[in-house]
Homo-oligomer: A and B are copies of this chain.
Amino acid sequence: MALIVQKYGGTSVADPDRMKAVAENVAYTKRHGNDVVVVVSAMGKATDNLIALANSVSSTQPGRELDMLLTTGERVSMALLCMALADIGVDAMSFTGSQVGIITDTAHGKAKILEVKGDRAREALQQGKVCVVAGFQGVSTDKEITTLGRGGSDTTAVALAAALDADACEIYTDVTGVFSADPRMVPQARKLAKINFDEMLEMAGAGSKVLALRSVEFARNHNVPLHVRSSFTWEPGTWVTSEEPSMEDPIISGVVTDVSEAKVTVLGVPDQPGVSAALFEPLAARNVNVDMIVQNTSTEGHTDISFTVPRSDLKVAQEVVAQVAVQIEAKGVTHDNDIAKVSLVGAGMKTSPGIAAKMFRTLADEGVNIEMISTSTIRISVVVAASDVELAARSLHTAFGLDSGQAYSAPLPERK
Contacts and interface: CB of A to CB of B under 8 A. Distances in A.
Contacts of A20: 57
Interface in A54-79: 54, 56-62, 64-66, 68-69, 71-72, 75-76, 78-79
A50 interface: yes
Interface string A72-95: 100110111111101100000110
A19 interface: yes
Nearest to A22: B57
Contacts of A66: 79, 83
A399 interface: no
Residue of A57, A78, A87, A93 with most chain B CB atoms under a 10 A cut-off:
A57
Given A16-B53, A57-B16, A57-B19, A69 B62 contact: no
Nearest to A86: B60
Contacts of A84: 57-58
A184 to B, nearest CB: 32
21 contacts: A16-B56, A16-B57, A19-B57, A23-B57, A53-B76, A54-B80, A57-B81, A57-B83, A57-B84, A58-B83, A58-B87, A60-B83, A61-B83, A62-B86, A64-B94, A65-B79, A65-B82, A65-B83, A68-B78, A69-B79, A69-B80
Given A57-B84, A58-B83, A69-B76, 9 more contacts: A16-B57, A19-B57, A23-B57, A54-B80, A62-B82, A64-B93, A64-B94, A68-B94, A69-B80
Interface of A: 16, 19-20, 23, 50, 53-54, 56-62, 64-66, 68-69, 71-72, 75-76, 78-84, 86-87, 93-94, 96
